[in-house]
Structure 1
Amino acid sequence: MTNLSSTPSGPVPTGAVGPAPRTAATQLAEATELHALVMQSLDDDQAQEVVSIPLAGKSNIADFMVIASGRSTRQVASMAQKLAERIKQSGGTARIEGMTNADWVLIDAGDVIVHLFRPEVRTFYNLERMWAFGEAPETPNA
């Protein structure tokens, strides 16, 4: 008979070893796989102007940030809903913010953060420039 101890998540066999801790290499591999799923989903749904920004080593919030546009609020909402479903089907989690108006929808999938915009809203917030970290030189005003 197995001895059980109680934890907040339920009974666990004593002496049982939990999942191995995620190494940095494992985490990056999982993030890269999730990133590929995100990119394929956006391509399937005909997202426009898809930009992927690698954040590994630059920020602790995620390993990748993906920014894309939809032609309308309906397309933005549809892309967000399908992407969240695909992430969940692959075993991940996805939290969604902004579906009410669908001008700017944020999908937090853990290692990958996705921003879906209507084109006008994307131009206004210009997230690509904020996360460029000086990689592209600013153009002087003429």
Structure 2
Amino acid sequence: MTTIELAEPGSMHALILDQLDEDQAQDIVSIPLAGKSSMADHMVIASGRSTRQVAAMAQKLAERLKREGHGSSRIEGLPAADWVLIDAGDVVIHLFRPEVRSFYNLERMWGFGEDAPATAGGQG
């Protein structure tokens, strides 16, 4: 599992990363948003091998978050399952098929990933 930062044990963030790892998500990346955006504390991006896997990961993650007491998450994009967005409050999760993920390249937009400029995010 690749993450930009370590998740605090027992946090919703850690639960999300654990569930995605358990569901065999690929290329899991966690981007800290504190100080960059007021929409959430973390953005998690991961890939599934097919639309079926992306949809299953999204549904299982939303069910686990609810079961663990984190309330109901908003889910967008489930019918097509090329790109599913899960808004869990403090953590926003993007699940993609690999081709769709490379097209939108959210990691680069937020200043992370191999193709990001060296000065992005204060690094350099």
Q: TM-score, normalised by structure 2?
A: 0.82
Which residue does the alignment assign to 2:97? 118
2:16 corresponds in structure 1 to 38
Where do residues 1-142 of structure 1 align in structure 2 (5 Å cutoff)? 33-92=11-70, 93-132=72-111, 136-137=118-119
What amino acid is aligned across from residue 96 of structure 1 in structure 2?
I
> Aligned partners of 1:135 and 1:58: how far apart in 2?
17
Deviation of 1:137 after TM superposition, in Å, equals 4.8
* 1:53 counterpart SS class: strand
Aligned to 1:6: none
- Residue by residue over 1:22-61, the C-alpha shift from the partner in whole angstroms, topping out at 9 and shown as x without a partner, is xxxxxxx99x701000000000000000000000111100
Taking the aligned partners of 1:75 and 1:81, their CA distance within structure 2 comes to 10
Mark the structure with the bigger radius of gyration. 1
How far apart are 1:91 and its partner, in Å? 1.2
> Counterpart of 2:11 in 1: which secondary structure?
helix
DSSP 3-state at the match of 1:121: helix
For 1:122, the aligned partner's letter is R
Uncovered stretches (5+) of structure 1, i.e. residues with no partner: 1-28
Normalising to structure 1: TM-score of the pair?
0.72
Q: How many residues align?
A: 109
Structure 1 pair 73–59 and aligned structure 2 pair: CA distance change class (3 A): same
CA distance in 2, matches of 1:39, 1:45: 10
Segments of 4+ moved more than 6 angstroms? none
